[in-house]
Structure 1
């Protein structure tokens, strides 16, 4: 995302210009289709392209791969966290999933209301995926979604009390995205 570039509403692929609907709710629908284990890969591509480009587009795997890699795929980049003295904290486990758009929907909604006074239901069909991603990544630390992310990424340290560690483990179980193995 560059602030001096317009938000993407069209693109050219194989010398054909396509209009693309990258509103956040459409992209979330694409994620739902992409995760549907009952569909074959070519069916997923057809449905996703229909959602994004319209029903009258001829679906190809090359077109889908281009759209997915250029406009949809989410990089699981973690922001750099700093300690109280301003020093960078050690990098947490790479590729640890911190957000699930389905399981965390209510927390994301509440955080957008709290931080930005944005009603995501009213923004359906309007807010671009890049805008949504930027606002989601920029949520202040006092929002419920950021607190849940901190809980999911927490790892015990020697300076913490046993009671605090147990409290955090309990919270991690509550907000876990996957099953947590018992230690």
Structure 2
């Protein structure tokens, strides 16, 4: 995917197999494509074919192409336009989206309200009004540079910050950070925290039962 350039306009032109295709690269359409990829009821082939329908505006030019060719087109589109190599290679965007596989920093769906409010806060951009016109590359450039004071920036800060080790002076600070971490945690993170807490409580109960048996 071409990054932001101050000398070139953003457009949706894409050449493939001798064809010049026009793509819908508006941010809301790309997010719709990403949402479709997460649909557990769709098979991989169906997802790739649907991605072509969503991304290519003049898909009549593709009417003579079979599924295998359209699948190849979809894979090329993800690689060239979205930095996502679905063939199993390096996925640049997926790597930049998360600090690690187990600790996601944000989620497009869960954080939609925060992202919307943050674009208004930082740029005075109403994303609803920008649907269909704001190019994905422009959206990403703005998204990646949202300020720490924006609603989204605050949420990410508390999701990623460390909790200081307890001492005689920082109880209030620790309590505040833990409270904010709970408030801003993603659903997946909350589920992991609940599992960890349940495992901890189980371990305490087990240790207590062993101690009681030894005391008899």
Q: How many residues were matched structurally? A: 170
Aligned to 1:84: none
Does residue 140 (structure 1) correspond to residue 123 (structure 2)? The answer is no
Aligned to 1:129: 136
Aligned to 1:122, what secondary structure does the other structure show?
helix
CA contact (8 A) 1:76 1:97 kept: no
Deviation digits for residues 75-123 of structure 1 (CA, Å, limit 9, x no counterpart)? 4438xxxxxxxxxxxxx95454212111111110101111111110000
CA distance in 1, matches of 2:125, 2:99: 32
Aligned to 1:17, what secondary structure does the other structure show?
strand
CA distance in 2, matches of 1:12, 1:71: 11
2:46 to 43, 47, 51: 43
Q: TM-score, normalised by structure 2?
A: 0.71
Distance 1:122 1:93, change over 3 A: closer
Aligned to 2:73: 63
1:163 to 172, 175, 194: 172
Q: RMSD of aligned C-alpha atoms?
A: 2.2
1:175 to 178, 181, 184: 184
Aligned to 2:96: 77
CA distance in 2, matches of 1:116, 1:2: 17
Which range is displaced more, 136-145 or 55-64? 55-64
2:156 to 149, 157, 163: 149
CA distance in 1, matches of 2:19, 2:48: 18
Q: How far has the Cα of 1:154 moved from its partner?
A: 1.4
Aligned to 2:4: 2
Larger Cα Rg: Structure 1 or Structure 2? 2
Greater helix proportion: 2
Aligned to 2:15, what secondary structure does the other structure show?
strand
**Structure 1: segments with no counterpart, 5+ residues:** 79-91
